[in-house]
Every structure is written in structure tokens, then in C-alpha cells.
């Protein structure tokens, strides 16, 4: 799929000439790439690239008064054979591709600062964990300077997978970035030209993952208060349905939750009493009961059998909104 996208794209446009400067591996051109921020993500991505003989990257680290931290960054930069800079202007003006990897709550500020020095033909990629609206604002700022913007959603941990961590890309510069960095063998997936789309996917995944962590926290507190060893419980949680392929989990559990919402609501109300007796405040459990209650009102089991194929869960979603429109029930 990616190859088809790139072939079609290559017929319509050429990568800006600025990306053809410098020499890289196997006599291919290596763009000048600068990273803003020198945290764990930047380090492990560059560590993976360095292990594959790529070097010479620029890294901007905000000047700090902590000498130990500065020395730590210098040592890491030397290990990566990268250039550690303390001037944002120097990094932006000396890079073809600028990748922002800072805290999500500072990403817009960084885009604004970088925009003061960016020029037409450059690419600014936002790798930060920021919400879609912030990515869209950053894109508008960068585009107003004639440069292109890429929204990157990091979906795997670089500490484990290095530069091969899965990243979803969107924005008007996404395809340019993929083409320019193809030689690095990174794990990019193009999902569209709209800035914020990759961030939206990351945000939804975060809702699930952080919600799951909340469930685990509440679950462990309950187990501790009940005096039940986690060694007994853990094997039952790893794979509740043994013959279910991992990629089918979402559809399977959505169908069961939607069609059996009323019964599950009753079961969770009983569990609520248990957690109260154990003196554990059931924060997540209360929210679960409320969600099941709202879905139960739609009586979806009157329209579908619980044996509906896992791949057809979208039919249930469509029906939910149809019932909401017909009966004036807000699906929220």
C-alpha cells in the first residue's frame, strides 16, 4: 500500500531540491535533519539510526544551568556522532527537516519559535504527544512561512524498537518526509494530508491504554484488599479468549459490550457492592456502569444476535446512531 502511494505521488511532484544536499549511506542523498529536544524518544530513535551507520544529525537542547545535565547530553551526542546545538535558530537554518520532540504541552510554543527562522521548502515534523487542535494550529503557523508540516503519531516505544517504532504520518509534508527518509528504513504509515489526523488516532489509543491502566490500578487495589494473589489472577487476564486472534479483540469485546450491556450493567452493580465492602473507591467501575447503562437503553440485542461475526461490528455502530436519531437519544 505504501509503495502504491509513493509511486503515484512521485508522478505528480518532486521532493524539494533542498533535500538533495549532503551524502548518505550507499551513495544515496541524506537530508540534513535536526531534532528539537533531546529526551528519550530522540535518543533512542537516533541510537537506532546510528547503529545502522547513519550519523551527523543536529540536536537542539535548550540551555540549562544544570551542568550535570548538559554534560549528560554532550556524552549522548558524542555516542551518536551527532551535533549538539544550543541555538534554535542555528538548528532550524541548518536543517532540511526539523523534527520537534518535546513535551506535548510545549509543542505549539516550539512551533511558533521555529517558525521565526523556517523558510519555504523546509519540513517541520511534530512528533509530540499533542492533541489534534494543537497540531492544526502548529501546521497553520508553519504553512504561513511557506514550509510544510507533518503530524507524527508515535505508536510504539523507541526504547524497545529504536528508529523502527511505528509512526503514523499526516499533513501536507507527510509524503515528502517519507520519501526523503526512506533510506533510513523507518516504520512510517501515511494516513492522509490533514494535520491532526495522526494525533487523533494517538489520542484515541491513549484513551484506551490509559483507561486500561486505570482499570488495572483499581483491579489491583481490589485484589489486595480481598487478599487474592495476583499470581492467581494474572493468567486469567492475559488472554481471556484463547482462540481469539489479537487483532479481533476490539470487535469481539465491542459486540459483547453492546449486545449484552443490560446484563453486564447488573453484574457490575454487584461488583460495585463488592468493591465498596472492600473499601476501594470504584472510580472506574462507576464510569463503566454508566456507559453500559446508556448503551443498554438502545436495546441492540433486539436487532442483532450475539453470534454476529466479529468483523461486522460496524453494523452495530451504524444501528446505534440510527436508533439515536429515530428515538431522539443523544449518542455521547
pLDDT above 80 (res 264)? yes
pLDDT confidence tier of residue 242, bands split at 50, 70 and 90: low
Residues 99 and 17 in one domain: yes
**Whether residue 133 has pLDDT greater than 90:** yes
| Domain match, 185 and 280 both | no
Please report whether residue 219 resides in a domain.
no
Pairing of strands 123-126, 33-36: unpaired
State mean pLDDT over 217-223. Answer: 94
Cα–Cα distance measured from residue 149 to residue 166, given in angstroms and rounded to the nearest whole number: 19
**69-122, pLDDT tens digit by residue?**
899 999 999 999 999 999 999 999 999 999 999 999 999 999 999 999 999 999
Q: How many domains does the chain have?
A: 2
- For residues 141-166, b (16+ Cβ closer than 10 Å) or e, as one string? bbbeeebbbbbbbbeeebeeebbbbe
Q: Is residue 26 domain-shared with residue 162, that is, in the same domain?
A: yes
Evaluate if residue 5 carries a pLDDT over 60.
no
Residue 168 and residue 291 share a domain: no
Tell whether 214 is covered by a domain.
no
Residues 96 and 122: their CA atoms lie apart, in Å, by: 5
Does residue 122 sit within a domain? yes
Tell me: do 320 and 172 sit in the same domain: no
Residue 10 has pLDDT above 60, yes or no: no
Model confidence at 24, pLDDT cuts 50, 70, 90, reads very low
Residue ending a domain, choose from 147, 180, 199? 199
In contact, 248 and 310? CB cutoff 8 Å: yes
Nearest to 125 by CA among 105, 108, 149: 149
pLDDT of 1 strictly over 50: no
pLDDT digits (tens, 9 = 90+) for 33-57: 999 999 999 999 999 999 999 999 9
Q: What is the pLDDT of residue 203?
A: 94
Query: Is residue 241 classed exposed, middle or buried when 0-12, 13-18 and 19+ CB atoms within 10 A define those classes?
Result: exposed
Kindly compute the dihedral angle of the four CA atoms of residues 129, 132, 137, 141, in this order, to the nearest 10 degrees.
60
Higher pLDDT pick, 235 / 107: 107
Same domain for 71 and 178, yes or no, is yes
Grid cell in block for residue 63: 540551555
Report if residue 332 sits inside a domain. no
- Per-residue confidence band for 199, with pLDDT thresholds at 50, 70 and 90: very high
189 & 117 share domain? yes
For residue 178, pLDDT beyond 50: yes
Q: Which three cell numbers stand for residue 107?
A: 509543542
Closest CA to 173 of 89, 93, 99: 99
Q: Check whether residue 61 and residue 187 sit in a common domain.
A: yes
Query: Does residue 109 share a domain with residue 169?
Result: yes
pLDDT in tens, 146-162: 999 999 999 999 999 99
Domain presence at residue 211 = no
Q: Report the CATH number that the domain containing residue 121 is assigned in CATH.
A: 3.40.50.720
Same domain, 195 and 258: no
Mean pLDDT (the chain, rounded):
89
3-state secondary structure the chain: CHHHHHHHHHHHCCCCHHHHCCECHHHCECCCEEEECCCHHHHHHHHHHHHCCCCCCEEECCCCCCHHHHHHHHHHHHHHCCEEECCHHHHHHCCCEEEECCCHHHHHHHHHHHHCCCCCCCEEEECCCCCHHHHHHHHHHHHCCCCEEEEEEECCCHHHHHHHCCEEEECCCHHHHHHHCHHHCCCEEEEECCCCHHHHHHHHHHHHHHHHHHHHHHHHHHHHHHCCCHHHHHHHHHCCCCCCCHHHHHHHHHHHHHHCHHHHHHHHHHHHHHHHHCCCCCHHHHHHHHHHHHHHCCCHHHCCCCCCCHHHHHHHHHHHHHHHHHHCCCCC
Enter the C-alpha cell of residue 158: 523507541
Containing structural domain, residue 42:
2-199
The whole-model pTM stands at 0.81
Domain boundary among 171, 199, 227: 199
Look at residues 168, 199, 230 and tell me which one is the last residue of a structural domain: 199
Same-domain pairing of 55 and 158:
yes
Amino acid at each position: 500500500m505504501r509503495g502504491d502511494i509513493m509511486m503515484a505521488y512521485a508522478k505528480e511532484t518532486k521532493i524539494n531540491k533542498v533535500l538533495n544536499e549532503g551524502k548518505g549511506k550507499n551513495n544515496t542523498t541524506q537530508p540534513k535533519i535536526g531534532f528539537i529536544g533531546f529526551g528519550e524518544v530522540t535518543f533512542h530513535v537516533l541510537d537506532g539510526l546510528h547503529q545502522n551507520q547513519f550519523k551527523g544529525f543536529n540536536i537542539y537542547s535548550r540551555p540549562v544551568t544544570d551542568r550535570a545535565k548538559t554534560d549528560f547530553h554532550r556524552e549522548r551526542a558524542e555516542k551518536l556522532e551527532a551535533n549538539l546545538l544550543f541555538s534554535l535558530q542555528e538548528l532550524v537554518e541548518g536543517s532540511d527537516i526539523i523534527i520537534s520532540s518535546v513535551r506535548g504541552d510545549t509543542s505549539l510554543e516550539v512551533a511558533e519559535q521555529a517558525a521565526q527562522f523556517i523558510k519555504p521548502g523546509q519540513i517541520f515534523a511534530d512528533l509530540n504527544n499533542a492533541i489534534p487542535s494543537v497540531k492544526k494550529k502548529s501546521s497553520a503557523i508553519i504553512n504561513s512561512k511557506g514550509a510544510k508540516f507533518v503530524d507524527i503519531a508515535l505508536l510504539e516505544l523507541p526504547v524497545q524498537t529504536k528508529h523502527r517504532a511505528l509512526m503514523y504520518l499526516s499533513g501536507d509534508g507527510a509524503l515528502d518526509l517519507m520519501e526523503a527518509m526512506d533510506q533510513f528504513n523507518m516504520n512510517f504509515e501515511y494516513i492522509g494530508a490533514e494535520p491532526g489526523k495522526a494525533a487523533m488516532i494517538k489520542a484515541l489509543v491513549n484513551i484506551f491504554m490509559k483507561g486500561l491502566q486505570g482499570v488495572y490500578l483499581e483491579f489491583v487495589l481490589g485484589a489486595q484488599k480481598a487478599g487474592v494473589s495476583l499470581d492467581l489472577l494474572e493468567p486469567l487476564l492475559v488472554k481471556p479468549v484463547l482462540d481469539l486472534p489479537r487483532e479481533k479483540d476490539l470487535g469481539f469485546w465491542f459486540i459483547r459490550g453492546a449486545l449484552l450491556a443490560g446484563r453486564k450493567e447488573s453484574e457490575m452493580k454487584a461488583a460495585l457492592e463488592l468493591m465498596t465492602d472492600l473499601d476501594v473507591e470504584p472510580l472506574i467501575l462507576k464510569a463503566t456502569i454508566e456507559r453500559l447503562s446508556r448503551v443498554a437503553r438502545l436495546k441492540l440485542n433486539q436487532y442483532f444476535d450475539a453470534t454476529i461475526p466479529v468483523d461486522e461490528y460496524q453494523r452495530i455502530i451504524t444501528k446505534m446512531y440510527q436508533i439515536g436519531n429515530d428515538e431522539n437519544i443523544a449518542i455521547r
